[in-house]
Structure 1
Amino acid sequence: MVIHYKCPNCGADMAFDSDSGHLSCPSCGHEESIETFPEQNIERKFDEGEAKEYHCENCGAIILTEAETTATHCSFCGAPVVLADRLTGDLAPAKVIPFTVSKDEAVAAFKKWTRGGRLTPRGFMSGDRIKKMTGMYVPFWLYDIEGEAHIQAIGTQVRTYQSGDTIYTETNFYDVFREIDLSYLKVPADASEKMDDVLMDKLEPYDYSELKDFRMPYLAGYLAEKYDFDDEQLFSRVESKIVPYIDAYISTTISGYSSVSYTTKQIDAQKKKVYYTLFPVWMVYYDFDNKEHTFAMNGQTGKVVGKPPISAGKVALWFTGIAVSSFAAMKAIAFAVGGVLW
């Protein structure tokens, strides 16, 4: 099924506007609320025989997509389309965080970010080599997790004291037990095989107070994909993701000891609830030094992540500056105490 949202005012195709949070018509500027968009202005067409091929209702062109795509643009007329049959049943998202950073704002934020790299090449810092910037909704699973931790450890308290000419060290050993209830809400994991997991993790945090119940018009004008991995397949990755936070919390409950040695650390985490959610991401493709560099931007906060190129010349100058500064400091100290530093 291909869906077009037709402007009630002029009949042009409408797209989601990140500034207003409404569907907006690029032709006449008319805006419509997503919640109250008139049903008669939604054009739908479904062909049961089509798996990866659709037809644009605007110009009749064939739309070829990958199996994971759920929203795209017509390559011929540019009309935003949503492939609704890929967003139903088990493939229907529960929640969505809409874009709040527009494309113009994303370009400006990325250019500002490139200027902040002290060790990046001068040509990269201009921010003027953006090859393509694509707004897309990336599928994520959000997990509400409940569990328990059972801890056994040996804690020591060491006391050193002197009696006469003899220095004594006294060590006391203590058995430590902890039973801790664990609760973590909305732990995210991206469910797209194409997306770099490390890159997606670094885009966090998102503001979950802006989570909306999913409605298809949010996708109009952006790319979107359905999940490749279900929530069962990703749960082990989520468990490993929360382990550092659990360890840090356990440490805060055991204090006052000189050392702590764990003998048992049993953590049992269970899924309480899972939300299939779409997160807004601007993918930035940047040409520099005959190579394409890929960066990602949080479409809600404007946070940019990625690995920029490093200038060997700037690195050399940086280390030289440290060496010179260190030598000058050491010479000043030597002079102050009456020494000589060659």
Structure 2
Amino acid sequence: MVVQYKCPNCGSDMAFDAESGTLSCPNCGRQDRIETFPEENIEQTVSPEETEAKEYHCENCGAVIVTAAETTATHCSFCGAPVVLSERLTGEFAPAKVIPFKISKEEAVAAFRKWTRNGRLTPRGFMNGDRIKKMTGMYVPFWLYDIDGTAEVAAIGTRVNQYQRGDTIYTETDFYDVYRGIDLSYLKVPADASEKMDDELMDKLEPYDYQELMDFRMPYLAGYLAEKYDYDDDALFSRVESKIVPYIDSYISGTISGYSTVSYTNKQIQANKQKAYYTLFPVWMVYYDFENKEHTFAMNGQTGKVVGKPPISGGKVFAWFAGIAAGTFAVLKGIAYVMGGVLW
């Protein structure tokens, strides 16, 4: 089913506005709160049964909208109308929470251009920030996990004391049995659930402010791209577990202090899933042309944080190392001069 939000004033298609947090009409400027948007202005077009590549029809111009099976929100390629595919957001694919966009497209472009100017080792042409090929706002599916962590640890700790009597140095070693039983809770640990998105890129976009998590409503997606998850919460839990276990291990080490050495004889760490929330996070995907190559960057649509690997200028790297070498040489020469020596 295709869902479109029509302006009560002029009938144009409305989209979610990141700055105001409302449904906004690009034609007449009307803004409506999502919670009170009149149902009579929500148009729904019934579509045939879902196939892998599915056809929908735009209510505005009648054009065919072809989407991949995982797409849940998109635009009409002909008239640009924002549409939400509601049947892909129900049942097991209904998100529980969403963090709405706070960074508008104009703000995202400005933030990215500012970010490119910070690259000290990037090529000169890259730093003007005017090579943006495309910037796409999309909601990426994530799972948020509430986890109970437990640990049972046994170890032998030693305390070594040295003292001298006369000409003899004595070393005294005391041995201690160490035991720890630990329970820890971790709330809302995220994992990207989209097969298309680079996991490392998505991880680096964190953190998101979970105080701004909202109960999911479809109007938040209007005007943006969105996808449903490719992996359920069970399939991703091993990845989340691999994130949490090192934190538990680090916490254990922090509780065992004051010993000269610690040798573990038993260490059992478990992370148990208590609850998982299907959530949509806002991401601006930036596609940037430079030297006939497309570079991909991502921006947190809530905070504006940019991640990605910019190109590196070999000449700037050489100049940077040369500057360090010259500075080091000058310092050493100064020290030698003060001490009365010669540095060649």
Q: Does TM, normalized by the shorter one, top 0.5? A: yes
- TM-score scaled by length of structure 2: 0.98
Matched residue type, 2:242: S
Q: Secondary structure at the match of 1:267?
A: strand
Alignment map for 1:214-233 (pairs within 5 Å): 214-233=216-235
For 2:29, the equivalent position in structure 1 comes to: 29
Deviation at 1:160, TM superposition (A): 2.2
Matched residue type, 1:40: E
For 1:334, the equivalent position in structure 2 comes to: 336
Q: Distance in 1 between matches of 2:310 and 2:323?
A: 22
Contact kept? 2:2, 2:47, Cα under 8 Å = no
Unaligned stretches of 5+ residues in structure 2: none
Alignment map for 1:304-323 (pairs within 5 Å): 304-323=306-325
Q: Distance in 2 between matches of 1:318 and 1:166?
A: 54
Report which stretch shifted further, 5-14 or 261-270. Answer: 261-270
1:4-44 per-position Cα deviation (integer Å, ceiling 9, x unaligned): 00000100000000011000000000011100111100000
Contact kept? 2:152, 2:181, Cα under 8 Å = yes
Q: Distance in 2 between matches of 1:250 and 1:242?
A: 13
Q: Secondary structure at the match of 2:229?
A: coil
1:258-313 per-position Cα deviation (integer Å, ceiling 9, x unaligned): 22222221112211111000000000000011110000000000000011111000
Q: Secondary structure at the match of 1:40?
A: helix
Deviation at 1:50, TM superposition (A): 4.7
Q: Distance in 1 between matches of 2:166 and 2:10?
A: 98
Q: Distance in 2 between matches of 1:11 and 1:88?
A: 27
Alignment map for 1:1-342 (pairs within 5 Å): 1-51=1-51, 52-342=54-344
Q: Secondary structure at the match of 1:260?
A: strand
- TM-score scaled by length of structure 1: 0.98
Deviation at 1:172, TM superposition (A): 2.0
Report which stretch shifted further, 87-96 or 169-178. Answer: 169-178
Matched residue type, 1:160: Q
Deviation at 1:244, TM superposition (A): 2.2
- Identity of aligned pairs, percent? 79
Q: Distance in 1 between matches of 2:180 and 2:92?
A: 40
Contact kept? 2:158, 2:261, Cα under 8 Å = yes
Q: Distance in 2 between matches of 1:338 and 1:202?
A: 52
Aligned residues: 342
Q: Distance in 1 between matches of 2:80 and 2:162?
A: 77
Q: Distance in 1 between matches of 2:49 and 2:194?
A: 26
Q: Secondary structure at the match of 1:12?
A: coil
Q: Secondary structure at the match of 2:60?
A: coil
Q: Distance in 1 between matches of 2:340 and 2:12?
A: 83
CA RMSD of aligned residues (A): 1.0
Deviation at 1:167, TM superposition (A): 2.4
1:208-234 per-position Cα deviation (integer Å, ceiling 9, x unaligned): 000000000000000000000000000
Q: Secondary structure at the match of 2:130?
A: coil
Report which stretch shifted further, 155-164 or 2-11. Answer: 155-164
Matched residue type, 2:67: T
Q: Secondary structure at the match of 2:36?
A: coil
